[in-house]
Amino acid sequence: MFFTFRKRYIQVAVVVGLLVMISLSILLAGSLQPLKDLNYMDTLSLSTWASSGVSHSSLSESGSHFNKMVDQLFHEKKKNDKEDKYWVTDTVILEEQTQLLIPDYYRLPKNLRPDVQPFDPRFTLAFYYNFLRVELTKGVIKEAPFHWADWMDMSVLNPYLFNPDHEQLTCELIFDAQKIEQEKYKDKEGRVYHETKNVKDFCVNDKDLPEGHNDGNTQRMGFNVQKYFGRMTPEKARLAGKAYLYSSAEPPRAVVFLTNDGFYSYSPTFKSKLLRSGLVDGYMKYNSPTQVNTLKMFKRLKKEIPPKRDEVINDYEVKLSHEDFVIQPIRTITKLQDLQKSGAMLTKQQQTYMESLRYSLQVEKAPPKYFSEARIFENVLGDHYDWRFFNGIQLGSNEQVTTLHKMVRVWLSFCRMTGVTTWLAHGSLLSWYWNGIAFPWDNDVDVQVPIRDLEKLSINFNQSLVVEDPNDGFGRYFLDCGTFITLRGHANGNNNIDARFIDIDTGLYVDITALAVSADKAPERYDYLLPDDFLRDLHSSKDVNDQMRVYNCRNRHFSHLSELSPLVRSYAEGEVAYIPKRYSDLLTTEYKDNGMLQKYFRSRLFMPQLRLWVHQDDLRFFLRHRKEWLKYYLSEATDSNFVKPRLSQDLTKKELTSLLNFKEHDLLELLQNDDILKDYIASREMTLVHENEIMHLLFGKSTARIVSHAPDFRPLKYDPFLHGMRQNYNTYEKEVERYKQLYRKFTHGKDRYQEGEEEQDVT
């Protein structure tokens, strides 16, 4: 036993020693470029063993001297937080934050209530949690309301909804994108105006709606966006997307409410707002008529009605099979048809999936593009947003970082609670490798699923609205699965993405791609998998791929079964995730050496002592002007006229070497920067677990004990909705009063407008 113990650690020491020698020689031999040849493990080894630097173990442990000093610094910063910066570190949601007053207009008869009210996810969720509890106690939910206005902020429509002369607001008056395009490019001969659409193709005026039209709205805008509208200005694209959801979009096929150990769901059957649906009235009848608490309603629901948890994935390893990557559409169609013949009623998702399979089989050669993005004039950034939920471009902002963080967490939780196998892919997997958190410069998220799990998503959850566990936040996400699931090759490139998980507050999305056996030719690196007597020329590419057990997405990223399976339990953004155990093979194939070696990218340096990517602007300021740095960031500093020095030029070899050998006092002074300190405080516990994982996986060791003993990590970022309310010093009650004033002005103006019309009729 003692011999085995010593032998293992001697082996580790030898490997680490070699890594350190290589690392030091590279550091001494070159400048910035050679540093890119150090991988993450090299850096960890260097910071652990380098005698001139701080011992890595003394930094990592939560009870270390360094972290005690960090705690002291953090508490001092919070105590002297004159600029109100540090409340964002308290990401735990408390009951007091979800206590709301019920507006007094709910005590009026329904016909006397306004038709538009302020959006607040806490308000909506409180009554839907109560609705689920009451209805599920009775059994199956047969009738259930939904209106998009209850689930997202549509205040951009207020100038039109509260316009007493709204009948004069027409599609042609509001949406003039073609005129804008023609004016912009009038000097360019021969230009084809195909990027915008004729307003008559996507918008209908109120006066042209069919008799008896009922979309759940009594307060109207005068125009109705009914489909995708093409390229527009950012402002008009935002307006058109919300107008579509308000008046024309169908309710989701299902609403899925996540918990930490399962989920609830219901299928909407009719359009109706909370103001008219009776959900609030039902609550007020048997509970408080004046106030409601979201978290209390959620806890009561969980206590009385257990969530569905029979498919929750909790295993350390998830083994994949070849069959998971093979699609059999004809068999699925037959199975669903037999179900119908037996007298069973197919769900909307099942019916739609069967129809999409039939359609997909008919258009194999030239499928039209399924997903549409927010197309913006002279700007490609709109391509990162779904057209329906576009709420303005926020790429590169703190809001985007927070949105992506929350979106990844909810996607992973949703899949785990519903028994869907998924893993991070491409850049998202690479960022996980470094510290378990998305790169600060990321603007998208990529995940993969086996084709069988895409089928499961499509049949059971397509067009569903997924609601975050309210203990973590109030995010809402729309799952949209594409039509052409049977097309597993690249084809015309219109549909490389199989599905999207869309944040309905911003329009940002997770790209979901399925891996399957296809007819696309696999790379030659897999040829060794074929038997010596296998005559490749006598078989189709699909048969060859099937024989080799090689799968691809529609954007021609290939993987072998052994590269994917087993998936091992880990954490991404603090949420339970499953990662291919051979992640390094996948990353090396896709990014060659750079991805796992390059610690300096997009003007940021990965600092292993903090396990964070730190911007070189901060590092240059700190290294070159430390006295000014301390003066600028110390909490007791009072010189408001101090201006940070403007610095240029990349960090030098000497500076980079210095950063990798920082002692405790250096790091503590660096952490005087509020943003770096907040990021470290939020992430240190989770990134420490991740670091231990990587060290074990590097040497082929199981991480089961590490992840099983890991805590339930809270979100690293503050809930976006609560953040906006706090930042603007706003409350739900203030918003209610503001809307009541808008409604009073609207009804008064409407009366005056009608009086003016009557006078004109008399004359």
**Roughly what angle, to the nearest 10 degrees, separates helices 616-624 and 653-660?**
90
Per-chain mean pLDDT for the chain: 88
Write down the pLDDT at residue 535.
83
Write down the pLDDT at residue 41.
43
For residue 521, count CB atoms less than 10 angstroms from its CB and return exposed for 0-12, middle for 13-18, buried for 19 or more.
middle
Cα torsion 31, 32, 38, 43 to 10°: value is: 100
Q: Where do we find the tokens 């006397």?
A: 112
The pair of three-digit structure tokens given for residue 668, joined into one six-digit string: 């503590």
- Structure confidence by residue, pLDDT tens digits, 662-696: 999 999 999 999 999 999 999 999 999 999 999 99
Q: How far apart are CA 548 and CA 81, in angstroms?
A: 60
At 140, phi and psi to the nearest 5?
Answer: -80, 140
Beta bridge partners of 500: 480, 511
Q: Which of the 8 DSSP states describes residue 600?
A: E
The pair of three-digit structure tokens given for residue 311, joined into one six-digit string: 């498919």
> Per-domain residue ranges for the chain?
2-49, 57-89+600-720, 112-309, 317-376+391-594
- Structure confidence by residue, pLDDT tens digits, 386-435: 999 999 998 889 999 999 999 999 999 999 999 999 999 999 999 999 99
The pair of three-digit structure tokens given for residue 347, joined into one six-digit string: 């769900």
Write down the pLDDT at residue 593.
78
Classify 572 as helix, strand or coil.
strand
| pTM of the predicted protein model | 0.91
Quote the percentage of the chain above a pLDDT of 90. 74
Check pLDDT > 60 for residue 27: no
Write down the pLDDT at residue 634.
82
- Structure confidence by residue, pLDDT tens digits, 86-104: 999 999 999 999 999 999 9
